[in-house]
Copies of this chain bind each other. A is one copy, B any other.
Amino acid sequence: MLAGKRVKGFLSDVTGVLYDSSHGGGAAISGSIEAVKKVCEFLNYFYQLYAESKVKFLSNESTATREEFVRKLEKLGFELKPDDLITPAPSCAKYIKEHNLRPHLLVYDDVIPEFDECDFSNPNCVVVGDAEENFTYENLNKAFRLLHGNPDIPLLSLGTGKFYQRTDGPCIDVGAFTTALIYATGCKHIEMGKPSKEYFNNALEALGEKAEDVVMIGDDICSDIGGAQKLGMRGIQVRTGKYM
Interchain nearest-CB distance for A201 vs B (Å): 26
Q: Which residues of B contact A173 (CB under 8 A)?
A: 184
- A190 on the B face (CB < 8 A): no
Are B172 and A176 neighbours in the complex by a CB distance under 8 Å?
Answer: no
A32 interfacial contact with B, CB 8 Å: no
From A160, which residue of chain B is reached at the shortest CB distance? B183
Q: How far is the CA of A181 from the CA of B173 in the complex (A)?
A: 10
A169 within 8 A of B: yes
* Interface membership of A137, Cβ < 8 A: yes
Residues of A183-212 whose CB lies within 8 A of B = 183-185
Q: State the Cβ distance, A141 to closest chain B Cβ, in Å.
A: 5
Which of A135, A170, A184 has the most chain B CB atoms inside 10 A of its CB? A184
The contact of A132 among B135, B137, B144, by CB within 8 Å, is B137
A172 neighbours in B (Cβ, 8 Å):
137, 140-141, 144, 180-181, 184
Do B180 and A184 touch (CB < 8 A)? no
Contact B180 A177 (CB under 8 A): yes
Give A154 Cβ to nearest chain B Cβ, in Å: 18
Whether A135 pairs with B137 at a CB distance below 8 angstroms is: yes
Q: Give a binary string over A131-151; 1 marks a CB under 8 Å from any B CB, 0 the rest.
A: 111111110110011001100
Task: Assess whether B145 is in contact with A170, with CB atoms less than 8 Å apart.
Answer: yes
CB distance from A214 to the nearest CB of B (A): 29
A162 in the interface (beta carbon within 8 A): yes
Instruction: Provide the residues of chain B in CB contact with A35, threshold 8 Å.
Output: none
User: Which one, B145, B162, B179, B183, contacts A169 given CB within 8 A?
Assistant: B145
What's the least CB distance linking A133 to chain B, in Å? Answer: 5
Q: Which residues of B contact A218 (CB under 8 A)?
A: none
A135→B144 contact, CB < 8 A:
no
A140 near B135 with CB under 8 A, answer: yes
Contacts of A134 in B (CB 8 A): 137
Nearest CB in chain B to that of A131: its residue: B137
> Does residue A175 face the partner (Cβ distance < 8 Å to B)?
yes
Known: A145-B169, A177-B180; 19 extra A-B contacts, CB below 8 A, are A133-B137, A134-B137, A135-B136, A135-B137, A136-B136, A136-B137, A140-B172, A141-B171, A144-B163, A144-B176, A149-B170, A172-B181, A172-B184, A173-B184, A175-B183, A175-B184, A176-B180, A176-B181, A176-B183
